[in-house]
C-alpha cells in the first residue's frame, strides 16, 4: 500500500482553459479519501491525472514519495474502477479480471488462483464463465472491482462507481465497498458528486470547486466546521439555511448581527469584519428548533414526513424561507403557525468573501458529543440562547 | 378498411416494391449469365431470346483463348494484399482520429473523402509517370499501392465511425491494466469492433476486385487482373457478346460467391451503430 502526494498540481488544456488550479494534498497510507464537488469541479480530471490518463501540466505527483508524472498508467501501480464499469464485453468475467495479469505474463495457474481469490471476496464465483452482458448492474460493478483487486494495486481509484446503480443497490454497494476497504486496508481515492457517499465512506473528504480545493477534512469536521459558504452549502442535506445578515457590533469573542428582523449574538471571532458589514448567517435545518418558546415566527408552507424525521419549509414573518428538520414524525400541518428557536452556538457566520468566521469554542466532533441529526434532544436543553 | 387489412396491404405493397428493386438491380447480372450460355447468334438476336438452347461453346473458347487462372490469381493476390495493407494504415489512423482528435481531425477526414470526388482520370498521367519511373508498371506491387491509396479514404472513414462507437473508458481500462497502445488496439479495440473491421475489409476487397480503370491503364499482361481479362474480349475484332458475357461471368463469379457467403457479416457491419 502507499501514499499519494499532490504538490501544486495544475491542468491546463490546449485552449488555455485551466481546470485544475494548483491542488496540493496528501493521501495517507490506507486512507479512504473522497473527492467531492459539483459537476465540472475537476474532481474526475484530478483522479484521471493521478491515474495517468490525463497529463499533468505542472506540479508533482508523488506515489510513495516517487515522482510519477511521467510514468505510464500501469507503471504507477494503481487500479481504477470506472463509472461505466468499462468491462471488456468480449471477455468472460474470469478473463476480465485476469487481463492485467495476462498482460504482465503471469503464469496461468497463478492467474487463476488470484482471480478465484478475488471472486470469492466478491461472491462472483458462479459468474466466472459469463460475459459481462449477462450480468446485472451490481454484478458488473463487482467484476470491475474484482479486476482492480486482482492486480493488488498500491492505490484504488474509483470514479463515481455507484452512480449507474439504482438507489437500493447503491446503498448496499456503499456498505460493501466500505467493508471491503476495511478488509483490504487499501489506500483509496474515490470520486463522487453524492455527498451521502462522501460522508459515509470517507476518512477524509476533499471538497473541490472549479479546480480549487475548498476544504479538506474528516466528514464531521466539514459538516460542523465548514471553512466557507460553498462547503457549508454543499455538505449536508437538506441544505444549510443561509440568511442575509448585517453586523451590528463586534466584540473579541462574538459578533452581533441582525437577521430575520432580530438580533443574534454569534460566538465567533470577528476576523476581518466590522460593524455595518454584510455577512451570511448559516444554520443547519436540524439546529433550528421547533419549540413553542422560540422567538422566530412563521407559517409552514410544506411538510416532508420521512417517518424518522420531518422537514418543514417555513416562511418566516419577514418573508424569508427557512428549512427546519425535526426528529420523529412531526404532525404540524401546512398553514400552521410555528415558533422557532435559533441556537446561536450552532450558527455559522460567513464574511462577504465567503470565508467562515472561526468559532470561539468549536463544536466537538467526537462521537461522545454526537454530531449530525442525532443530537436534537440534547440540543434542546443545551443551546438555549435565542 | 380495417387497420389490420391496411397493414397487410401495405406489407404486400412493400414486398412487391422490394422484389421489383431487387430484380431491377439483379437483371443485368442475370442477363449476362444467360448470355454466356447462348450461341453468338442467339446472343445478338432481336427481339432478345429468353428461351434458348444452352451451350458451353463460349466458355470453351474463353478458356482456350486466355489463361483465366493467371488473371484470377492476380486479382486475388492484388485485392487481398491491397486490403491488408489498407487496414494496416487505416486502423492506426482511425484509432488516432477517433480517440485523440484534434481540431484538424474533421478537416482531415473531409479532405480524405474529397479525394474520392476527383475523377481518377484527372491523375492518370502523373500516376502513370510515377509508376513508370519507379518501375512499377505491370507489377502487382504497383497495383496494390494504387488500390491502397484508392481505398484508404473509405476504410479510414468506416473504421473511424466504428471506433467512435467503442466507449473510451474501455480502452482506458486496458491502459490501466497495462496494455500498450498496440495491445489496447489488438486486445480491446479490434475484438470489440470486429463486425465493423470485417465489413470494412470486405468492402475494400470488393472495390479492389471490381476496379478496372487503374488495372487497365497500369497493367498489360504480367500483373493484369480479371477486369483486363474481360476487356481482352471486347477490343480487337468487334464485340462477341457470348464470349464477353462468359468472361464477365467468370470474372465476377468468385467475388459474387464470396459476397453471398459474407453478406450477413457485411450487412451487420454496415448497419453497426446505426441502430442504438
pLDDT tens across A18-72, in order? 999 999 999 999 999 999 999 889 999 999 999 999 999 999 999 999 999 999 9
With respect to residue B51, please indicate whether it lies within any of the assigned structural domains: no
In a domain, residue B58? The reply is: no
Q: Is A89's Cβ below 8 Å from some Cβ in B?
A: yes
| CA pair distance A312, A324, nearest whole angstrom | 5
- pLDDT tens for the 276 residues of chain B, in order: 788 888 999 999 999 999 999 999 989 988 888 888 888 878 777 788 778 888 888 888 888 888 888 999 999 999 999 999 999 999 999 999 999 999 899 999 999 989 888 888 989 999 999 999 999 999 999 999 999 999 999 999 999 999 998 899 999 999 999 999 999 999 999 998 888 898 899 889 999 998 989 998 898 888 889 888 888 887 556 677 888 888 889 888 888 888 888 877 777 766 654 433
Question: Within a domain: residue B158?
Answer: yes
| Number of domains chain B contains | 1
d(CA B180, CA A72): 9
Sequence spans of domains, chain A: 4-229, 239-382
**Nearest chain B alpha carbon to A149:** B177
Nearest CA in chain A to B189: A88
Round to whole Å and give the CA distance between B154 and B136.
24
- Band (A328; pLDDT cuts 50, 70, 90): confident
Residue of B nearest to A76 (CA): B176
Mean pLDDT of A274-288: 94
In a domain, B102, yes or no: yes
Whether B223 maps to a domain, the answer reads: yes
Predicted confidence at residue B238, as pLDDT, reads: 64
Is residue B135 a part of any domain in this protein? yes
**B172: domain range?**
69-270
H runs (alpha helix) in A104-238 = 108-121, 137-150, 167-184, 195-201, 219-224, 229-234
Which CATH number is associated with domain A239-382?
A: 2.40.50.100
- The verdict on whether omega for the bond into residue A73 sits within 30 degrees of 0, i.e. cis, is no
Of B178, B183, B191, the CB nearest to A90: B191
The pLDDT mean for chain A works out to 89
Q: Torsions phi, psi of A328, nearest 5?
A: 75, -170
Q: Which CATH superfamily is domain A4-229 in?
A: P-loop containing nucleotide triphosphate hydrolases (3.40.50.300)
A-contacting residues in B 147-186 (Cβ below 8 Å) = 167, 169-170, 172-179, 183
The pLDDT, as a whole number, for residue B45 is 77
Length of chain B: 276
Q: What is the pTM (predicted TM-score) of this model? A: 0.81
Reported ipTM: the value is: 0.81
Predicted pLDDT at B261: 84
| Residue B268 touches partner A, C-beta closer than 8 Å | no
**Residue of A51, A79, A103, A149 for testing the chain B interface, max B β-carbons within 10 Å:** A103
Is B82 a domain residue?
A: yes
Q: Which CATH number does the domain housing residue B127 bear?
A: 1.10.3720.10
Domains A4-229 and A239-382 share a fold: no
- Going by pLDDT thresholds of 50, 70 and 90, the confidence category of residue A367 is low
The mean per-residue pLDDT over the stretch A220-224 comes to 93
A117-147 pLDDT, tens digit per residue, is 999 988 899 999 999 989 988 899 899 999 9
Three-state secondary structure call for residue B147? helix
Amino acid at each position: 500500500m502507499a501514499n499519494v502526494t499532490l504538490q501544486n498540481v495544475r491542468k491546463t488544456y490546449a485552449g488555455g482553459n485551466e481546470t485544475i488550479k494548483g491542488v496540493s494534498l496528501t493521501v495517507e497510507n490506507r486512507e479512504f479519501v473522497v473527492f467531492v464537488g459539483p459537476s465540472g469541479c475537476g474532481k474526475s480530471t484530478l483522479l484521471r491525472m493521478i491515474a495517468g490518463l490525463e497529463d499533468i501540466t505542472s506540479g508533482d505527483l508523488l506515489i510513495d514519495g516517487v515522482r510519477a508524472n511521467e510514468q505510464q498508467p500501469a507503471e504507477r501501480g494503481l487500479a481504477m474502477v470506472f463509472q461505466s464499469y468499462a468491462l471488456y464485453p468480449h471477455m468472460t468475467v474470469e478473463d476480465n479480471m485476469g487481463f492485467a495479469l495476462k498482460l504482465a505474463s503471469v503464469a496461468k495457474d497463478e492467474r487463476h488462483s488470484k482471480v478465484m481469490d478475488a471472486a470469492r471476496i466478491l461472491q462472483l464465483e458462479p459468474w466466472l464463465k459469463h460475459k459481462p452482458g449477462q450480468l446485472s448492474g451490481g454484478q458488473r460493478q463487482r467484476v470491475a472491482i474484482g479486476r482492480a483487486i486482482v492486480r493488488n494495486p498500491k492505490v484504488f481509484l474509483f470514479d463515481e462507481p455507484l452512480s449507474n446503480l439504482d438507489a437500493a443497490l447503491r446503498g448496499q454497494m456503499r456498505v460493501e465497498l466500505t467493508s471491503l476497504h476495511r478488509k483490504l486496508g487499501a489506500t483509496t481515492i474515490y470520486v463522487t458528486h453524492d455527498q451521502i457517499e462522501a460522508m459515509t465512506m470517507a476518512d477524509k473528504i476533499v471538497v473541490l470547486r472549479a479546480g480549487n480545493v475548498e476544504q479538506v477534512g474528516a466528514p464531521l469536521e466539514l459538516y460542523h466546521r465548514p471553512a466557507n459558504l460553498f462547503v457549508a452549502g454543499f455538505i449536508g442535506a437538506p441544505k444549510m439555511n443561509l440568511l442575509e445578515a448585517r453586523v451590528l457590533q463586534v466584540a473579541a469573542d462574538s459578533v452581533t448581527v441582525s437577521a430575520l428582523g432580530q438580533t443574534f449574538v454569534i460566538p465567533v471571532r470577528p476576523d476581518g469584519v466590522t460593524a455595518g458589514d454584510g455577512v451570511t448567517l448559516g444554520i443547519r435545518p436540524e439546529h433550528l428548533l421547533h419549540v413553542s418558546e422560540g422567538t422566530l415566527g412563521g407559517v409552514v408552507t410544506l411538510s416532508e414526513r420521512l417517518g424518522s424525521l420531518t422537514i418543514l419549509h417555513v416562511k418566516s414573518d419577514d418573508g424569508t424561507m427557512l428549512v427546519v428538520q425535526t426528529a420523529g414524525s412531526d404532525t404540524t400541518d401546512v398553514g400552521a403557525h410555528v415558533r422557532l428557536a435559533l441556537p446561536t452556538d450552532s450558527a455559522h457566520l460567513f464574511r462577504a468573501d465567503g470565508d467562515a468566521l472561526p468559532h470561539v469554542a468549536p463544536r466537538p466532533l467526537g462521537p461522545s458529543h454526537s454530531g449530525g441529526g442525532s443530537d436534537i434532544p440534547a440540543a434542546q436543553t443545551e443551546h438555549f440562547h435565542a | 378498411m380495417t387497420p389490420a387489412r391496411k397493414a397487410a396491404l401495405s406489407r404486400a405493397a412493400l414486398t412487391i416494391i422490394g422484389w421489383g428493386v431487387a430484380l431491377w438491380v439483379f437483371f443485368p447480372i442475370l442477363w449476362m449469365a444467360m448470355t454466356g450460355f447462348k450461341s453468338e447468334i442467339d446472343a445478338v438476336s432481336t427481339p432478345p431470346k429468353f428461351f434458348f438452347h444452352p451451350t458451353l461453346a463460349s466458355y470453351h473458347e474463353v478458356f482456350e483463348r486466355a489463361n483465366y487462372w493467371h488473371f484470377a490469381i492476380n486479382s486475388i493476390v492484388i485485392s487481398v494484399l491491397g486490403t491488408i495493407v489498407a487496414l494496416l494504415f487505416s486502423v492506426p489512423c482511425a484509432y488516432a482520429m477517433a480517440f485523440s482528435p484534434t481540431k484538424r481531425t474533421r478537416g482531415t477526414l473531409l479532405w480524405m473523402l474529397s479525394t474520392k470526388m476527383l475523377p481518377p482520370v484527372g491523375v492518370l498521367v502523373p500516376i502513370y509517370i510515377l509508376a513508370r519511373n519507379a518501375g512499377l508498371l505491370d507489377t502487382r506491387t504497383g497495383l496494390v499501392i494504387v488500390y491502397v491509396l484508392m481505398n484508404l479514404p473509405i476504410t479510414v472513414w468506416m473504421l473511424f465511425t466504428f471506433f467512435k462507437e467503442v466507449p473510451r473508458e474501455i480502452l482506458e481500462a486496458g491502459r490501466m491494466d497495462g496494455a500498450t497502445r498496440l495491445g489496447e488496439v489488438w486486445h480491446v479495440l479490434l475484438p470489440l469492433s470486429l463486425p465493423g473491421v470485417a465489413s470494412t475489409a470486405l468492402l475494400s476487397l470488393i472495390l479492389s476486385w471490381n476496379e478496372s480503370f487503374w488495372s487497365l491503364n497500369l497493367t498489360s499482361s504480367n500483373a493484369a487482373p480479371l477486369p483486363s481479362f474481360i476487356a481482352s474480349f471486347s477490343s480487337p475484332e468487334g464485340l462477341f457478346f457470348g464470349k464477353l458475357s462468359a468472361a464477365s461471368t467468370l470474372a465476377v463469379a468468385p467475388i459474387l460467391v464470396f459476397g453471398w457467403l459474407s453478406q450477413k457479416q457485411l450487412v451487420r457491419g454496415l448497419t453497426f451503430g446505426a441502430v442504438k
